[in-house]
A and B are shown apart, each in its own frame.
Chain A
Amino acid sequence: MKRGWLLLLGLVPFVFLQQGKATQPETWTIVVGGNTQGYLTPCGCTKPMLGGVRRRVTQTKEACKDHPSLVIETGRLAQGNPSQGLSRQAEMKVETLAETLRFAAVDVIALHPLDRFLGDAGLNGVSRLSRAPLLDTSPMIPSSETMPEFRKGPFGVLNHDPARGKAGIDAVGAIVKSSPETRWMVVTAGNRQEGEALAKEFPELILVVYASESQIAFSPLQVGRVWVVSPGVKGQGMLRLQWNGEALDGYEAVRLDDETPNDPDAARIYRRYQDRVRAEKLLEQMPRTSEAAYAGSKACKSCHTEEYKIWKDTQHADALATLERDFHDSDPECVGCHVVGLESTQGFVAREKTPHLTDVGCESCHGPAANHVKAPEKVRMPKKGAESCYGCHNSEHSPTFDFATYWDKIKH
């Protein structure tokens, strides 16, 4: 009986829909990902971490296998603020991201205003490696590498920079009005409010993608007939939408968690990036900003025997190995939290050269102790509390960190 009313409710509109169609409209899958900000891989010591371009490629391939597809990358490719100049590692990450996106068959990369600071040669590299055109509808800095609009199938894609004010709105309006038969989508560098404003300004759009400040939203926002969506932040998720030939009618917010396997092509490219980081010796080139003298954990052992024994059984004492297993042990962004004193001229250099400073040791929390070891009574070590954990166990890399829970694991 339960199924009876269900069938009535469910099938009637469906049958009606089928009968009303003269021809079968073409179904499209639209995938929106991006706002990667250099986060090629989830980074952290707490599982499950979200994101990663290798997972994104897997999910994009999966999403696009049944229907014609439009894959949009929303830009903000590099970490930090490229207007201040890019580090060598940030440059390599942009190249790696672009090359990886090739395997996701990205159709267009809608540039974020900060991407413009990559310069023409940098943008050429992005386009060349991703094999996708770059979109900049209202460029602040004109570039020979970008185009003002992108079209595929019934769709057109534009982007919008809120900092361009009226000029940015007018640029979108001029293109949208000039081709009313096209189903337009706009990627804005603005936030949700600015996305909603665009949707109100141009009700003929079908989709507005905004730059989110948060995790991916699990339902679209609808302003009239316009869907206002965001793929979230730092490439942690992606959106999969469906176009039924007349309107958007499907929305899946895909969280890129550890249930999604890495795509083998993307994994190969990522592995090559790790090799490039190693080959260019970026770790060795890191500026050493202090001269703090470290002694190594073994130097503490003779007086703090019990504490040393406890430490030896913790994951801290094997911290570098976790990076070595994933080939991240030459990555300047990772190593600092897995060794002692990477910031110091007298700190960790390499496992072979400074074995005593390998892994998270006593001095990672208690501070440099070489002077204390020389004169224990004269040079006292300061008391340390939870604050000494927060440098590494921050909300970015250790989002579920709770001092009381974690302290239990290393209590000494």
Chain B
Amino acid sequence: MVSSLLAMVVVASAGSAEIAPIPSVNSSAGFQRLVATAAKHLEAGKFDAAAGVLKLFPEDVLIYRVDFEGVNAAQRATFEGMVQEVLSSFKRGIPDLEIRPAKRGEIPHLAVSFSEKLPNDEVTGLPKGMVEFDGAGPGDIRFESVIGLRRLSVGTVIESHQFAADFAYSIGATLGFARAPRPGVIMFRTDGVGGRLGPIGLDHRKMHTANRAVVARLKQAVAAKERLIYAVPSAYLGTTSWDAGSVVQGTVSEQRFEIVNRGKAPLTVRVVPDCSCFTLNFPDTIAPGATGLLSVLMNSKDFKGPQRKALFVYTDDPERAVTRIDVTSYVRPVHRVLGGPEGGILEMTENGASSVFYFVMEEDQPVEILSTQVYGLSGVTRVEPWEGMLADPEINEPALPRKGYKISVLLSPSAVKGRVPASVIVETNHPLIPVSSRAFNVQRGVASFPPTLYFGEFKGSAARGYVVLQGLGKPFKITKIETSSPDYSATPETLENGDIKLVLEWKGKSGAGALLGSVTVTTDLPGQPPIVIPIQGISE
């Protein structure tokens, strides 16, 4: 809408002449440059020159030529197979486009050739994966790509999927599709990184239709000897990074980026974030000489710890088709529950069990505790103000001074069998992040860790592994070991801390198949029920 209004202004100022069409924001810089050249010719009334440029663009048929010189026979067979795969993908994605090889003597729209090794890329220092050329005028080929057969400085041979990605990219570039910054899409050029070819679908069909419309309009002007006004946008971004700093979780950080259009045509802008945590606001179109504001809100609600995100700014400026904006921040949890039993295991005794947790919160965002509960087992909690030093290993934070509440948990005596999970849940008045919790395990007497011995898949007639019978510091002895079958054996070994390592072996005669056995251990601890350790596995 804005774009059309601006175009109308230009039209009005130029009398009867119409502004030349501007390629879509999704088109390649090469395509945009060629369109600009044709438009310049049309503005100058050089209709033959414009026609010469426009002749480069494929219409319903894209003709390609792959020169396999330098490619050995085995590689060539593989590449030819990949060519057919890529062509099939394009056929599925853009059914009304025919792509065929050039006949003898025919000038193709796309010429692909190979070079043993290409010069280094200035940024990465690695050899380029491809060098590309856009044709400029009559007699030229619309798009030429030279694909490096060796991607690394010692010459690793290009892989078939890399060739497929580069060939697909070459077809897309011939059609005027913009290069994508991320792998997994067809317009990602491999250059030795990334690689797999993404699907060709509706987006590409739309891009093709849009580009064809631009070329058709220019051809129409040539045919009618109609002069058009040449105008090109030019995008300028002063800043391409944003460190949002250390923020409390739930904070919505805001930043604005100025996008200046230094060109003579309206600038179309599209911004794509790599995270749903961004809310973006930007003008679709920026008038010549005007400045548009890209407003970015980053919601840290779903994240904790250090973050690195990115925004990709696409424009229809031929010189600045895509710009990456790096966004970094450190998100401090607004509140969290730390502490709890050492090793995450709380011992249940005849008198119950108790442990201390710490609800810590950010000083500048105090919250109120509405309730504290224990889930998994019955118990009560007591809450009192607290401050001290604590680490948070989950987000790699060292011991730091923290403020909040001490939550003393007292669990009622319970006939827990082995080890069971429980958690402390703290409900707060924080509108965005109402709940924090911390999980722990409760154990009564001796328990096996892991509770099941899993052999997985194994070959042969023997398997061996171990569990540790943990007594939480209390010495105990095994009085009896029973196995579900004579194929199993169990050998105890007392460890320094009083726990018992129980080595379990299967020496089966039953051949291949699933193992479903168990070992039952009785200890001398009063009141300790027998510990059953299931054994699972697959003998191949």
Verify that A and B bind, or say they do not.
yes
Contact A255 B439 (CB under 8 A): no
Contact A84 B340 (CB under 8 A): yes
A409 close to B (CB within 8 Å) = no
A189 to B184, CA, bound (A): 28
A7 close to B (CB within 8 Å) = yes
Interface residues in A57-110 by Cβ distance below 8 A to B read 80-88, 91-92, 95, 98-99, 102
A13 to B156, CA, bound (A): 15
Contact A402 B276 (CB under 8 A): yes
Chain A residue numbers with a CB within 8 Å of B303 are 395
A212 to B308, CA, bound (A): 9
Residue from A2, A163, A213 having most chain B Cβ neighbours under 10 A: A213
Contact A218 B194 (CB under 8 A): yes
Binary flags per residue of B429-454, CB closer than 8 Å to A gives 1, else 0:
00000000011110000000111011
B197 close to A (CB within 8 Å) = yes
Contact B276 A398 (CB under 8 A): yes
Contact A3 B194 (CB under 8 A): no
Contact A396 B302 (CB under 8 A): yes
A202 close to B (CB within 8 Å) = no
Known contacts A83-B393, A189-B396, A213-B306, A252 near B193 by CB under 8 Å: yes
Chain B residue numbers with a CB within 8 Å of A13 are 117
Kindly provide the distance from the CB of B459 to the nearest chain A CB, expressed in whole angstroms: 11
Lowest 4 CB-CB distances: which A-B pairs, in order? A85-B344, A214-B308, A244-B154, A85-B441
Chain A residue numbers with a CB within 8 Å of B441 are 85
Residue from A9, A27, A119, A252 having most chain B Cβ neighbours under 10 A: A252
Contact B117 A11 (CB under 8 A): yes
Contact A253 B438 (CB under 8 A): no
Other A-B contacts than A85-B343, A117-B344, A250-B126, 7 sampled, CB-CB below 8 A, are: A7-B116, A252-B195, A253-B193, A254-B194, A272-B538, A276-B536, A400-B276
Chain B residue numbers with a CB within 8 Å of A254 are 183, 194-196
B341 closest partner in A (C-beta): A85
A380 to B100, CA, bound (A): 66
B125 closest partner in A (C-beta): A222
Known contacts A213-B307, A252-B192, A9 near B450 by CB under 8 Å: no
Chain A residue numbers with a CB within 8 Å of B450 are 91, 95, 121-122, 125
B150 partner, pick from A14, A84, A88, A272, beta carbons under 8 A: A14
Chain A residue numbers with a CB within 8 Å of B222 are none
Interface residues in B445-489 by Cβ distance below 8 A to A read 449-451, 453-457, 465-468
A interface list, Cβ under 8 A from B: 2-3, 6-7, 9-11, 13-14, 17, 25, 27, 48, 80-88, 91-92, 95, 98-99, 102, 113-114, 117, 119-122, 124-125, 128-129, 162-163, 189-191, 211-215, 218-219, 222, 242, 244-245, 249-255, 257, 259-260, 269, 272, 276, 287, 289, 394-396, 398-402
Chain B residue numbers with a CB within 8 Å of A84 are 340, 344, 438-440
B146 close to A (CB within 8 Å) = yes
A272 to B536, CA, bound (A): 11
Chain B residue numbers with a CB within 8 Å of A163 are 391, 393, 396, 398
Known contacts A10-B116, A113-B393, A242-B156, A219 near B124 by CB under 8 Å: yes
A84 to B346, CA, bound (A): 10
A395 to B307, CA, bound (A): 13
B212 close to A (CB within 8 Å) = no
Chain B residue numbers with a CB within 8 Å of A117 are 343-344
A-B residue pairs in contact (CB < 8 Å), sample of 20? A6-B131, A7-B115, A10-B119, A11-B117, A14-B117, A17-B154, A84-B438, A85-B440, A102-B456, A120-B468, A124-B465, A128-B456, A162-B396, A214-B309, A219-B124, A250-B156, A255-B182, A259-B197, A269-B457, A395-B303
Chain A residue numbers with a CB within 8 Å of B199 are 259
B151 close to A (CB within 8 Å) = yes
Known contacts A87-B421, A399-B276, A251 near B439 by CB under 8 Å: no
Chain B residue numbers with a CB within 8 Å of A191 are 306, 396
B153 partner, pick from A11, A121, A244, beta carbons under 8 A: A244
Binary flags per residue of B144-160, CB closer than 8 Å to A gives 1, else 0:
10101011111110000
A265 closest partner in B (C-beta): B457
Chain A residue numbers with a CB within 8 Å of B116 are 7, 10-11, 14
Contact B196 A257 (CB under 8 A): yes
Contact A260 B454 (CB under 8 A): no
Interface residues in B280-311 by Cβ distance below 8 A to A read 302-303, 305-309
A260 to B195, CA, bound (A): 11
Known contacts A120-B468, A191-B396, A398-B276, A125 near B454 by CB under 8 Å: yes
A260 closest partner in B (C-beta): B196
A249 partner, pick from B152, B194, B274, beta carbons under 8 A: B152
Binary flags per residue of B130-174, CB closer than 8 Å to A gives 1, else 0:
010100000000001010101111111000000000000000000
B113 close to A (CB within 8 Å) = yes
Contact A251 B192 (CB under 8 A): yes
Kindly provide the distance from the CB of A27 to the nearest chain B CB, expressed in whole angstroms: 7
B449 partner, pick from A114, A119, A215, beta carbons under 8 A: A119
Known contacts A14-B117, A122-B450, A3 near B146 by CB under 8 Å: yes
Interface residues in B408-445 by Cβ distance below 8 A to A read 421, 423, 425, 438-441
Kindly provide the distance from the CB of A125 to the nearest chain B CB, expressed in whole angstroms: 6
B237 close to A (CB within 8 Å) = no
B345 close to A (CB within 8 Å) = yes
B196 partner, pick from A11, A249, A259, beta carbons under 8 A: A259
Known contacts A17-B154, A85-B440, A121-B468, A6 near B538 by CB under 8 Å: no
Contact A289 B375 (CB under 8 A): yes
A242 to B192, CA, bound (A): 11
A162 closest partner in B (C-beta): B396
Kindly provide the distance from the CB of A302 to the nearest chain B CB, expressed in whole angstroms: 34
Contact B421 A85 (CB under 8 A): yes
B356 close to A (CB within 8 Å) = no
B194 partner, pick from A17, A98, A102, A253, beta carbons under 8 A: A253
A106 to B164, CA, bound (A): 28
Chain B residue numbers with a CB within 8 Å of A212 are 308
B394 close to A (CB within 8 Å) = yes
A95 partner, pick from B302, B454, B501, beta carbons under 8 A: B454
Known contacts A122-B449, A255-B194, A218 near B308 by CB under 8 Å: no
A10 partner, pick from B117, B144, B376, B391, beta carbons under 8 A: B117
Kindly provide the distance from the CB of A264 to the nearest chain B CB, expressed in whole angstroms: 13
B468 closest partner in A (C-beta): A121
Chain A residue numbers with a CB within 8 Å of B133 are 2
Interface residues in B95-118 by Cβ distance below 8 A to A read 113, 115-118
Contact A27 B156 (CB under 8 A): yes
A125 partner, pick from B131, B148, B197, B465, beta carbons under 8 A: B465
Binary flags per residue of B192-219, CB closer than 8 Å to A gives 1, else 0:
1111111100000000000000000000
A251 closest partner in B (C-beta): B193
A255 partner, pick from B115, B183, B275, beta carbons under 8 A: B183
B515 close to A (CB within 8 Å) = no
Residue from B113, B115, B396 having most chain A Cβ neighbours under 10 A: B396
Contact B152 A250 (CB under 8 A): yes
Chain B residue numbers with a CB within 8 Å of A255 are 182-184, 194, 196
B367 close to A (CB within 8 Å) = no
Chain A residue numbers with a CB within 8 Å of B344 are 82-86, 117
Known contacts A3-B146, A125-B465, A257-B184, A190 near B307 by CB under 8 Å: no
